[in-house]
Amino acid sequence: MKNNTDTAASHFSRTRIRSLKDKLTAFNMAAGGIGVIVAIMLIFFYLLYIVYPLFKDASVSKTSQYSLSSEYGNTLHLAIEEQNKIAVQYTDRGYAVFFDAQNGKQIKTVKLFNSKASVSSFKLSTQVNNTVAFGLSNGHAVIVRHQFKISYPDDKIHIEPEIIFPAGKQPLIVDKNKKALLDISYQQDEDKASIVAITDDGRLVMSLLEKEEAGLLDEEDEQSSAEYSQSEISLPQIQDARYVLMDPLQRTLYVATIKGQTTVIDTSDLENIKVIQSINLLKAQQTLTHLSFLTGGISLLVGNNEGEIAQWFPVNKNNIPQLTFIRKFKPQQGAINDIETEQRRKGFISVSDAGQITIFNATAQRDVASVMLANTNLQHAALSPRADLLLTASNQQISAWHIENEHPEMSWSILWEKVWYESYSEPEYIWQSSSADNDFEPKYSFMPLAFGTLKAAFYAMLFAIPLALMGAIYTAYFMAPKMRTFVKPTIEIMEALPTVILGFLAGLWLAPFMEEHLVGVFSLLLIMPIGILAFAFGWQKLPKKYRLLIPEGWQAALLIPVVVFLAWLSLSVSTQMEVVFFGGDIKHWLKATLGLNFDQRNSLVVGVAMGIAVIPTIFSIAEDAIFSVPKHLTFGSLALGATPWQTLTRVVILTASPGIFSAIMIGMGRAVGETMIVLMATGNTPVMDLSIFQGMRTLSANIAVEMPEAEVASTHYRILFLAALVLFLFTFVFNTAAELIRQRLRSKYSSL
Amino acid sequence: MIKKWFKSGDPFIWLNASAVSISIIVVVGLLMVIAVKGLSHFWPAQIIQAELVNETGRTTLVGEIVDTSEVPVQRLIDSGIDIKTDKEVIERSLIKVGNRDVLGSDFRWVIFPENTSIIYPEELTVIERREWGNFYGYLLGISKNGQPLKTNKPLWQQLEQLIDEANQLHDKIRDIEKHEIGGINYELEQLRLKKRRLELDGVTDKSAYKLIESEKRALNDLYNQQKNALVKLYAEATTYTVSAKIMSGQTVTIPLAKIVRAYQPNRLNVFQKISIYFSRLAEFVFDEPREANTEGGIFPAIFGTVLMVILMAILVTPCGVITAIYLREYAKQGFVTRLIRIAVNNLAGVPSIVYGIFGLGFFIYFIGSEIDQIFYPEALPAPTFGTPGLLWSSLTLAILTVPVVIVATEEGLSRIPKALREGSLALGATKAETLWRIIIPMATPAMMTGMILAIARAAGEVAPLMLVGVVKLAPSLPLDGSLPFLHLERKFMHLGFHIYDVGFQSPNVEAARPLVYATSFLLVLVIVILNLSAIWIRNHLREKYRHLDS
């Protein structure tokens, strides 16, 4: 009895343990399975997560507001240093006031000149070297530069602002007639500097400062004792001139009237200064309110009283640069009072007298953020070098804004439309992602890459589809079963061949081989089908005694020596044919006759190599589809008197066509995403050229080439992720469609 | 009649058949090209000597004929070569002349005038050097410390003996540099990190620092000892030099320590050649690369590939199998499972570079740098796991190949007859017991197939690895004698990447080409064997279940 309860109890507990184990296993399996599936899906979401910020708008938020003391005069210009700690205000009484950028606390004030004259004009030279020019009411000019010395006493950052005078502390005499300077522009390089100004009686005056000895004009130590020689340059006079702007290279001078009539003067040769163009930048009735350079000193930003901003830059027409309208930006409310450009990107910020602040990107032609401050006349704006702090000034009132603007250079039109880049003669699709200096305008057009991807896939499919489908048809429908058991695995092994090996063979063996035997390769296209048909015809004519030695369904084996012979034939006569038909140098002939350039690593090579990589994929799926067409359909057709060929074309292929289509789609998906072959077998230049003798760069190869150098979280980095996302979605959609077609086909067969 | 023949459709059948023939020729041809070019490289080729006469005088050419081809004369003229001939097609040869240190480049294209006499002098010697590639020319003598060596042995015998000794010396030096000194440096670095760690943790206890200092001193002593030994060995290595004459008549002096191997190919018989062949083959497989990977062996690449693939298999197999079992045995069959199945299937078709970029972004920059922040703050700003490495490569490839394992395992599971499951459940077994005792043992071959296919795919994949961990030259193997033995954070070398790098990024592609072929051959061999075994297992499996079904 006791025994029995024992067993019952142990049985009971064993059952419990067993059921517990069962549940545990079920739970583990479910958790593991779902976990892996989620992990796989993570790829998609992670790519999205990285790409998303590209399309986010910028944000602008006010962090503080304060007012500066009015004893030094009104604001002419503001600037901020790298750390966003200290800003400088230049005033119309000739002071430079350094203050804390967050709360306006004064740090240091410098009087810039001792003169009874007042400031009559002011202009920033270029932002990068922080140089500004003051034009005075007595025809003098003062050139000032501010800089920040950073030191780390006690491991704490200390920033010491200072003012230096690159052209000497004494005001320079720009106009001998001592008239007030209405506008002034100053530019300098290592050995010379130019000052151009407009006097209040409408004359254009220019002074050239030339270095006499080493150590002038630049670098802090020589400040005021700099030795230079000043000479006056005479310029053509322009009526009603109001704005003057010299480019940083001191080669071109832009002079504009209040109506926007702009004269371009070539000052690259000071002996021979000439007017090269005169053009109106505005419509009638509009007035020019702002004219300045975009970063890099090539593009002009033109702002008018109606709130419109346009970008212009010189474009070469017949080797003469012509100032050309490039693009305009979203109109603002009120006149444009100031445009402040970013120092490291082609972006800028405009402030209008109606109180609108808008952040733009020039290349992307995009306004990334906008803020409206009602009833405020905003006169000046300053952006920090990292473009994350903005100061706006309305009289003595300063507002500090925090800007979150990571990827302004991104827009749909940048990726997929033609963009007119600086120094190009027309809008173009260009991929050129990186360069060493800040003035560089990154060119992120996906078009050349997408074009290259599709071009490579197209040539690969051109080579692969006929071979794979014809092979599949023969293997599935005509081939003797014994041979099939050998042929199928052989071709499928090819699928496992690493693409790096195919790429290596294509780049280092096939490419030079094809270059050498180009004529032979093309003659193959002709010789091969004709030779095979001739052999087949001859075989047909053989007496039955010999013909029946090879059973039906072994044609492919019989043809192997024939194909080898034909290939050998056309390649061995290649050189002779080149001599006879193309004067001994086909590349030269192509260039002279057809105007085609020949790259050794070209689309032909990629087509063949990638074709070889996709043949097994297409072959295997198409063969399955054809082979599984129900046998009673073909028997019925044959029984009704159709020939095998008729049965094939009218019954079998029609029934299997969705399967064949899905095979092609999967092959296409593979060709689009293939990396190593394209990387190794082409020159990887992002050109858009359909020629079979030119290379390309594909999306995938581009990722492989540029990803290791892309800075994390930069626009370039995210754009490469976007390229990956495009590839991912493209192949995913293609493969899913193909898979659905196949599943439908399978259920159709089973119902037949 | 031809019209009738076309109407019968026969010609089209022949054309279709030819597509199969072409495909097969392409597959076999590719494999043959790789095999022939890869394997023939190790064979000691004959060395020619030819007198070339032209306007500038006579020049002697000594070297190996690597390639000959026929080119139209016009093409040569177009490319700027000055030739005077009345022929339209001419034969030119690529000669490997070696002696890069004197001649500038190893290879030159030569067009032999018709009456050139080519001879094969037996005294012509090939010397494989550790620097500057091969030497081709005549041996003059051996010097010891700058004085001609006096010996009664024949020159050649003496040289062979000395080379043997020099090679042993070289091995010794390398052993000390790599293992002894490398190990000491590694430990010193660990000590530095340990100290930094203590500082970061705010430990003020002096004794802990003292302990580290004393350990460091001991290691430094050890280091100095090894270094002294090394200095002695280096001095020993410079004792002997060989003087020899190259084709331009110049005499060159080669330190014996820089010689890997010397032979006179024109004098060798077949058996001697075979012995050299295998010695070079062994060097290729078991030795380390030299001269920017263009010469020597590829052992680190083989090792890296194998280790990475093993790690990947360990990661991928359980994950893939569990997912397949979940999908097939536990999940409710319906629309969602169908969708998941399609998605998993399609992931196999997603370009591998996409996995690479995901691995770089997610594993390395996201997870890796987190790990560094938490576990390795002492090494920062130098990243430990926040940089491409072995672990991330294996993980990335595991995600890449997990669909392969899932699909293969699911196929295996679906082949198991339903009756077996039902029988087990009817006898009272729980679902878990049925799974463990019946289903998993029966599906093991399918899982094996999946794993082998995954390995085969991973072994040949290069594009993602370029982003997540391979380098052209790794200073040390990821597995060595220093704790913790397996260094998952290290970068490694890989056969596929080696092919890409040497074939396309190396400055001397022509010289490196045979090695790339040989590497390709090795890789293809491994992958074909893996695939064939997977196919074999699959077929075997089918037979087994066919038997059960009946």
Q: What is the pLDDT of residues A536-561, one digit of tens each?
A: 888 888 888 888 888 888 888 888 99
Write the CB contacts of B382 (distance below 8 Å, at least 6 apart in sequence): none
Q: Please give the distance of CA B164 from its chain centroid, rounded to a whole number.
A: 27
Whether B288 is in a domain gets the answer no
Residue of A nearest to B462 (CA): A500
pLDDT for the residue numbered A225? 45
A592 at interface of B, judged by CB pairs closer than 8 A:
no
pLDDT for the residue numbered A216? 45
pLDDT for the residue numbered A46? 92
B443 at interface of A, judged by CB pairs closer than 8 A:
no
Using 50, 70 and 90 to split pLDDT, how confident is the model at A453? very high
pLDDT for the residue numbered A1? 47
Contact A513, A547 (CB under 8 A): no
| Among A353, A354, A256, A339, residue whose Cα is nearest residue A303 | A339
Residues B400 and B476 in one domain: yes
Contact B25, A563 (CB under 8 A): yes
Using 50, 70 and 90 to split pLDDT, how confident is the model at A19? confident
Question: Which of A343-357, B232-246, B306-320 ranks highest by mean pLDDT?
Answer: B306-320
Residues B129 and B93 in one domain: yes
Using 50, 70 and 90 to split pLDDT, how confident is the model at B5? confident
Indicate the residue among B139, B162, B185 that finishes a domain. Answer: B139
Q: How far apart are CA A75 and CA A521, in angstroms?
A: 74
Contact A675 B353 (CB under 8 A): yes
pLDDT for the residue numbered A460? 94
Mean pLDDT in residue range B276-302:
87
Contact A331, A307 (CB under 8 A): yes
Contact A556 B17 (CB under 8 A): yes
Any idea which residue has 């080149």 for tokens? A578
Indicate the residue among B199, B214, B238 that finishes a domain. Answer: B238
Contacts of B367 in chain A (CB under 8 A): none
Using 50, 70 and 90 to split pLDDT, how confident is the model at A3? low
Pick from B351, B358, B531: CB nearest A496: B531
Which residue, among A28, A29, A678, A718, would best test binding to B if mutated, counting the most B CBs under 10 Å from its CB? Answer: A29
Whether B246 is in a domain gets the answer no
Q: What are the two backbone dihedrals, phi and then psi, of residue A278, each rounded to the nearest 5 degrees? A: -135, 125
Strand partners, A256: A243, A262
pLDDT for the residue numbered A101? 85
Contact A704 B463 (CB under 8 A): yes
Whether B6 is in a domain gets the answer no
Mean pLDDT in residue range B281-297:
85
pLDDT for the residue numbered A437? 63
Whether B118 is in a domain gets the answer yes
Using 50, 70 and 90 to split pLDDT, how confident is the model at A372? confident
Task: Flag whether pLDDT at A335 surpasses 80.
Answer: yes
Contact B460 A466 (CB under 8 A): no
Q: How far apart are CA B290 and CA B511, in angstroms?
A: 13
Q: At what angle do helices A481-496 and A555-572 cross, to 10 degrees?
A: 50
Q: What is the pLDDT of residues A27-47, one digit of tens each?
A: 888 888 888 888 878 888 999
- C-alpha dist (Å) from residue B23 to A379, A469, A492, A619, B155: 74, 11, 11, 10, 55
Residues B375 and B479 in one domain: yes
Using 50, 70 and 90 to split pLDDT, how confident is the model at A214? low
Task: Flag whether pLDDT at A194 surpasses 70.
Answer: yes
- Domains of chain A plus CATH, in order, are 58-67+283-430 (2.130.10.10), 115-280 (2.130.10.10), 450-512+600-751 (1.10.3720.10)
From start to end of B73-206, where are the E strands?
89-96, 107-110, 118-119, 125-129, 134-144, 147-148
Cα distance from N-terminal residue to C-terminal residue, chain B: 54
Task: Flag whether pLDDT at A411 surpasses 90.
Answer: no
Residues B80 and B199 in one domain: no
Residues B134 and B152 in one domain: no
Contact A497, B30 (CB under 8 A): yes
Task: Flag whether pLDDT at A217 surpasses 70.
Answer: no
pLDDT for the residue numbered B358? 93
Alpha-carbon gap: A427 to the closest alpha carbon of chain B (Å): 31
Indicate the residue among B222, B238, B254 that finishes a domain. Answer: B238
pLDDT for the residue numbered A5? 60
Strand partners, A181: A199
pLDDT for the residue numbered A223? 45
Q: What are the two backbone dihedrals, phi and then psi, of residue A422, each rounded to the nearest 5 degrees? A: -60, 140
**For chain A, what percent of residues have pLDDT higher than 70?**
96
pLDDT for the residue numbered A461? 94
Contact B16 A40 (CB under 8 A): no
Pairs of residues, one from chain A and one from chain B, whose beta carbons lie less than 8 Å apart: 337
Pick from A493, A504, A732: CB nearest B531: A493
Residues B336 and B436 in one domain: yes
pLDDT for the residue numbered A605? 92
Mean pLDDT in residue range A709-735:
89
Alpha-carbon gap: B91 to the closest alpha carbon of chain A (Å): 11
**How many domains is chain B built from?**
3
Residues B54 and B129 in one domain: yes
**For chain A, what percent of residues have pLDDT higher than 90?**
17
A672 at interface of B, judged by CB pairs closer than 8 A:
yes
Q: What is the pLDDT of residues B486-522, one digit of tens each?
A: 888 888 999 999 999 888 888 777 888 888 999 999 9
pLDDT for the residue numbered A222? 44
| Range 31-90 of B in CB contact (< 8 A) with A | 33-34, 37, 69-75, 78, 88-89
Mean pLDDT in residue range A671-679:
90
pLDDT for the residue numbered A154? 78
Task: Flag whether pLDDT at A436 surpasses 70.
Answer: no
What CATH number does the domain containing B382 carry?
1.10.3720.10
Contact B347 A40 (CB under 8 A): yes
Q: How far apart are CA A697 and CA A447, in angstroms?
A: 11
Contacts of B9 in chain A (CB under 8 A): 643-646, 648-649
Calculate ∠ Cα B292-B293-B296, nearest 5°.
120
Element (H, E) at A16: helix A2-51
Element (H, E) at A406: none
Residues B177 and B114 in one domain: no
Whether B250 is in a domain gets the answer no
Q: What is the pLDDT of residues A582-601, one digit of tens each?
A: 877 788 888 888 888 888 88
pLDDT for the residue numbered A178? 86
Whether B254 is in a domain gets the answer no
The order of strands in the sheet holding A320-328 is A288-293, A300-304, A309-317, A320-328
Element (H, E) at A556: helix A555-572
Question: Which of A379-393, A613-627, B324-338 ranks highest by mean pLDDT?
Answer: A613-627
Domain limits at B535? 299-549
Q: How far apart are CA A365 and CA A361, in angstroms?
A: 6
Task: Flag whether pLDDT at A215 surpasses 70.
Answer: no
Task: Compute the mean pLDDT over every residue in chain B, rounded to the nearest whole number.
Answer: 86
Q: What is the pLDDT of residues B423-445, one digit of tens each?
A: 999 998 888 889 888 888 888 88
Whether B529 is in a domain gets the answer yes
Residues B113 and B151 in one domain: no
Residues B331 and B435 in one domain: yes
Pick from B11, B461, B466: CB nearest A533: B11
Residues B408 and B539 in one domain: yes
Whether B204 is in a domain gets the answer yes
Contact A707, A730 (CB under 8 A): no
- Farthest-apart Cα atoms in chain B, separation: 105
| Among A579, A625, A605, residue whose Cα is nearest residue A682 | A605
Q: What is the ipTM of this complex?
A: 0.89
B454: tokens are 């995954």
Q: What is the pLDDT of residues B138-182, one digit of tens each?
A: 888 888 887 887 777 788 888 888 888 888 888 888 888 888 888
Task: Flag whether pLDDT at A307 surpasses 60.
Answer: yes
Residues B115 and B205 in one domain: no
Which stretch of A216-225, B18-27, B42-51, B346-355 has the lowest confidence by average pLDDT?
A216-225
| Range 528-567 of A in CB contact (< 8 A) with B | 528-529, 532-533, 535-537, 540, 555-560, 562-564, 567
Element (H, E) at A187: strand A181-188
